[in-house]
Amino acid sequence: MFHRTKGVDETGDRDIASNAVTSSEPAEAGARSTRMGKRALIGSATRVTGDMTGEEDLHIEGRIVGCVTFRRHAVSIGIDGSVEGDVVAQSLTVGGTIRGRLIVSGNVRVLAGAHVSGEIHSPGLVIEEGAEFQGTVDMNPANPLLEELFDAAPADHTRQASADAWQTGLLEDDLPEDTSAAALDDEDDTSSR
């Protein structure tokens, strides 16, 4: 099915293993299986000029100059990856460099060592210590830009919040109804009696 090719170094003295892998079976270029389906990969030696759209998760290790639109899927930019253009996604993780508008219906996570320059439009944002960010942030879930680009934005946020709660073990039933200081003081008074 897969064959590793061997090569000879520039001196011709010894055999070295090459990273080239060929397949005798047809497959989607750059796609690999993930827990939730397929994920496209832009490799580190790849440069894409032009807009990209897709209906699967996307991981970028190379360079993209253009808009990346994966509205219903996760986009991640590896530490060597870069994007010059807008990114529209359900969720976004940045480990590399991006310059443009980040328009995300779910959460944006900017990892330590990442460089982001531009606008972030997302109801959820985490910027780790050591990340660089220059620009503006709009975290209003009723942002007209989010509503325009994502058909069922409120429903998507509800599903994402439910998924986040499930992953952390917190369910809506576990959360107190009233978390105001007065309500918490009243609760403390009754529990000490």
Tell me which residue has tokens 């520039």: 10
Is residue 3 one of the residues assigned to a domain?
no
**pLDDT confidence of residue 152:** 52
Task: Tell me, yes or no, whether 138 and 72 share the same domain.
Answer: yes
Confidence tier at 85 by pLDDT (50, 70, 90) = very high
**pLDDT confidence of residue 151:** 67
Task: Tell me, yes or no, whether 192 and 145 share the same domain.
Answer: no
Mean pLDDT to the nearest integer, 130-139: 97
Task: Tell me, yes or no, whether 108 and 187 share the same domain.
Answer: no
Q: Does residue 148 surpass a pLDDT of 70?
A: yes
Q: Does residue 115 surpass a pLDDT of 50?
A: yes
- The residue range of the domain holding 192 is 152-193
Tell me which residue has tokens 């940045």: 94
pLDDT in tens, 47-75: 999 999 999 999 999 999 999 999 999 99
Confidence tier at 141 by pLDDT (50, 70, 90) = confident
Mean pLDDT to the nearest integer, 152-162: 41
**pLDDT confidence of residue 38:** 80
Task: Tell me, yes or no, whether 96 and 190 share the same domain.
Answer: no
Mean pLDDT to the nearest integer, 116-138: 97
Task: Tell me, yes or no, whether 37 and 125 share the same domain.
Answer: yes
Confidence tier at 150 by pLDDT (50, 70, 90) = confident
Is residue 23 one of the residues assigned to a domain?
no
Task: Tell me, yes or no, whether 118 and 50 share the same domain.
Answer: yes
Task: Tell me, yes or no, whether 47 and 65 share the same domain.
Answer: yes
Task: Tell me, yes or no, whether 80 and 135 share the same domain.
Answer: yes
